Amino acid sequence: MLLAFSEKAVLRMNTRNIFTDPAVAQFYDLTPRDRQDHMFCKSLARNAQSVLDLGCGTGEFTVQLIKERRVVGLDPAGAMLDIARTRPGGEQVTWVEGDARSFDLSETFDLICLTGHSFQFLLTEEDQRAALSCIAKHLNPTGQFVFDTRNPDFPGRKTRSKEETLSQSMHSKLGPIESWNISEYDEAEQILSFINAYKSLETGEIFSAPSQLKYTSQKKLAQLMADAGLQVTDWLGEWTGEPYHPLSREIIPVGRKA
Ligand SMILES: C[S@@+](CC[C@H](N)C(=O)[O-])C[C@H]1O[C@@H](n2cnc3c(N)ncnc32)[C@H](O)[C@@H]1O
């Protein structure tokens, strides 16, 4: 019997991982992103002698920090780190395959940053607490941390369809690529489940993988950070430096050890 599955259901059955599977990780840098987070973090790093880029992914930001300071990029996804290592300047970074929830580098840093909403891949309160406590442990007494997480109260839909997100780009080996994502938000759990898909327009082959993101309120984050021994000096609502307000797009805490 021929079973008809919706495109969404077929993609969902996919067991690839967006970051650890090289077949999907190879598309990460194709998505055009406005990287105001990089500019902000680079300005924070100006006087830092050592920086830890947690959840560094393919290292696009990490390699921008290498001038005259120690730089460590840490990520659990070997496939992302493999791309990072081949970047110009990648040889000057110490790349560590590790997890924000459990790493122990036996050194402390002047700046620890998580860009690109890496924090939202920590899906439970337990995971968030573990990561925040690792951050506190790896900060110098005057060291700073910064990360971004999308504000659950920002007005507008979080759910997206293929039609809304469809775009085209050029892969250096595979040629023209059509990409899209499909997402669904669970309001009660504050979890966004999504699928990223990339289709080679030359062969028709589709590479896709599902993942999830956690949304956390500013009030909850403030509690978690205080419990981890972290003090927030500034709450921003955008990487441009605007202060956080209850409906801002982002929640960006900047701070130190308490
Ligand atoms: C959206 S990417 C961001 C990468 C990079 N920071 C950027 O701005 O482009 C999220 C990254 O978080 C990493 N990640 C997921 N879970 C993590 C964890 N438990 N600890 C550290 N990094 C994690 C993923 O492997 C991925 O590279």
Residue 23 placed within a domain = no
111 and 178 part of one domain: no
The predicted pLDDT at position 1 comes to: 31
203 and 226 part of one domain: no
Residue 184 placed within a domain = yes
Residue 24 placed within a domain = no
111 and 233 part of one domain: yes
List all residues 6 or more positions away from 75 whose beta carbon is below 8 Å from its beta carbon. Answer: 19, 54, 55, 56, 57, 81, 84, 95, 96, 97, 98
The tokens for 171 are 């892969």
pLDDT at residue 13 tops 70 = no
230 and 125 part of one domain: yes
The CATH number of residue 98's host domain is 3.40.50.150
Residue 21 placed within a domain = no
Distance 248 CA to ligand 1 centre (A): 23
The CATH number of residue 182's host domain is 2.20.25
38 and 96 part of one domain: yes
pLDDT at residue 147 tops 90 = yes
CA angle (110 as vertex; 108, 114 as ends), nearest 5: 90
Domain tally for the chain?
2
Each residue's pLDDT tens digit, 52-86: 999 999 999 999 999 889 999 999 999 999 999 99
249 and 138 part of one domain: yes
Residue 88 placed within a domain = yes
DSSP line for 140-206: EEEEEEEE-EE-TTSSS---B-HHHH-EEEEETTTEEEEEEEEEEEETTTTEEEEEEEEEETTT--E
Distance of alpha carbon 6 from alpha carbon 70, whole angstroms = 49
124 and 174 part of one domain: no
Cβ of 56 below 6 Å from ligand 1:
yes
Return the SS3 of 38.
Answer: helix
Each residue's pLDDT tens digit, 212-236: 999 999 999 999 999 999 999 999 9
Return the SS3 of 255.
Answer: strand
Distance of alpha carbon 208 from alpha carbon 229, whole angstroms = 39
129 and 239 part of one domain: yes
116 and 100 part of one domain: yes
Mean pLDDT to the nearest integer, 42-60: 95
Cβ of 239 below 6 Å from ligand 1:
no
Which mutation among 17, 39, 75 tests ligand 1's pocket best, with the greatest number of atoms within 8 A of CB?
75
46 and 94 part of one domain: yes
230 and 166 part of one domain: no
DSSP line for 45-67: GGG-SEEEEET-TT-TTGGGG-T
CB 144 within 8 A of CB 241: no
Cβ of 207 below 6 Å from ligand 1:
no
Cβ of 76 below 6 Å from ligand 1:
yes
229 and 120 part of one domain: yes
DSSP line for 74-93: EES-HHHHHHHHTSTTGGGS
Return the SS3 of 20.
Answer: coil
- Domain assignment of residue 184, given as a range: 7-16+159-214
